[in-house]
Amino acid sequence: MAEQKEKLLRFYKGTEGEKAVTQLVDLAEAVQRTQRPRLSPFLDPFGQEIAETVAANYGGIRVSFDGGYHGAERARAMYMHEDFAGTATNYDIACIAVSWNGQFARLGHRDVLGALMGLGMERDRLGDILLTADTARILCDEKMAEYLLANLTQVGSVGVQCERALLSSITPKEERCKEIRATVASLRIDSIAASGYGCSRSRAAADIEADKLRLNWQHVKSASTAIKEGDVLSMHGRGRIEVAEICGKTKKGRTVILLKRYF
């Protein structure tokens, strides 16, 4: 067991997954010791990949995910031992419905998340934040629900009202997919992003500089980062781009790519 832990910690050391893998390994080892289920904090898609990797490295453990509704991006992982006889299906997820006067204020994801951080909430206690013009549904750890109900009274300068809502009231996410066939001078991330999001390469480079773009749900260090088949680019509010296929070269030496953009 010690060897497995050391291998995983060493693999993710110095990456954005370092904190997550430490938490997840501890949970997996607790499941092996006690044979009782253990529940993780909310994980982004990269964290969910790490959770699956950890489960694969610990014999007799399986992992499942739930973010509160079908299609959730952020989800909690539940580790269970194969010898566990019970059924652990409670992921301890609450839904808080937030409302405000949409005639006088337009709030965005960053505004709501900023208000939650201002209350001392840690990001891993929060799932997805689903917005309309005058409402937000916040998925959170059940243990934090009453705290939010009592303390979230304002987002920025806007007064808000909070109440509990049923998870079943959330409409499942239905993604639309658009295929984009393009040619690029190189497989740099700024070129791929420009083709997928329909913007200039300089705009894509500026988005990368502003830390708006993610590659496989991790920060992008440089606009010249090389992209490979199967990579996923994501930008909040603009959807995801999957590099579905690298199709070869044109006669002029440009690379033909097939992208799938999910809205």
Q: Which residue among 81, 112, 140 closes a domain? A: 81
Same domain, 33 and 66: yes
pLDDT at 25: 97
| Cα–Cα nearest to 213, from 230, 185, 192, 228 | 192
AA identity, residue 53: T
Q: Which residue among 117, 144, 169 closes a domain? A: 169
Domain containing residue 40: CATH number = 3.30.1370.160
* Position 86 in a domain: no
Whether residue 260 contacts residue 241, with contact meaning beta carbons closer than 8 Å, is answered with yes
Whether residue 121 contacts residue 81, with contact meaning beta carbons closer than 8 Å, is answered with no
**What is the helix (H) or strand (E) element at residue 197, kind and residue range?**
helix 189-197
Supply the pTM of this predicted model: 0.84
* Position 88 in a domain: no
* Position 42 in a domain: yes
Q: Rounded to an integer, what distance in angstroms lies between the CA atom of residue 140 and that of residue 111?
A: 17
Question: Residue 40 is encoded by which pair of tokens?
Answer: 């993780």
* Position 11 in a domain: yes
pLDDT at 89: 72
pLDDT at 159: 95
Domain containing residue 112: CATH number = 3.30.70.330
pLDDT at 263: 86
- Tens-of-pLDDT digits for all 263 residues of the chain? 678 889 999 999 988 899 999 999 999 999 999 999 999 999 999 999 999 999 999 989 999 999 999 999 999 999 999 988 776 679 999 999 999 998 888 899 999 999 999 999 999 999 999 999 999 999 999 999 999 999 999 999 999 999 999 999 998 887 899 999 999 999 999 999 999 999 999 999 999 999 999 999 999 999 999 999 999 999 988 999 999 999 999 999 999 999 999 98
* Position 87 in a domain: no
Please state the domain count of the chain: 3
pLDDT at 105: 86
pLDDT at 186: 96
Same domain, 161 and 189: no
C-alpha angle 117/119/120, rounded to 5°?
65
3-state class of 188 per DSSP?
A: strand
Q: How far is CA 166 from the centre of its chain?
A: 22
Same domain, 195 and 164: no
pLDDT at 88: 64
pLDDT at 174: 79
Same domain, 165 and 196: no
Same domain, 72 and 132: no
Same domain, 183 and 163: no
* Position 74 in a domain: yes
Same domain, 137 and 204: no
Domain containing residue 254: CATH number = 3.10.290.10
Same domain, 219 and 154: no
Same domain, 76 and 102: no
Torsion angle (degrees, nearest 10) of CA 89, 90, 93, 97: 90
Same domain, 181 and 257: yes
Q: Rounded to an integer, what distance in angstroms lies between the CA atom of residue 164 and that of residue 170?
A: 12
* Position 228 in a domain: yes
Same domain, 163 and 181: no
Residue appearing with tokens 């994501």: 234
Same domain, 74 and 101: no
Q: Rounded to an integer, what distance in angstroms lies between the CA atom of residue 47 and that of residue 163?
A: 29
Whether residue 206 contacts residue 214, with contact meaning beta carbons closer than 8 Å, is answered with no
pLDDT at 1: 63
Q: Which residue among 81, 101, 136 closes a domain? A: 81
- Domain span at residue 140? 93-169
Q: Rounded to an integer, what distance in angstroms lies between the CA atom of residue 49 and that of residue 42?
A: 13
* Position 101 in a domain: yes
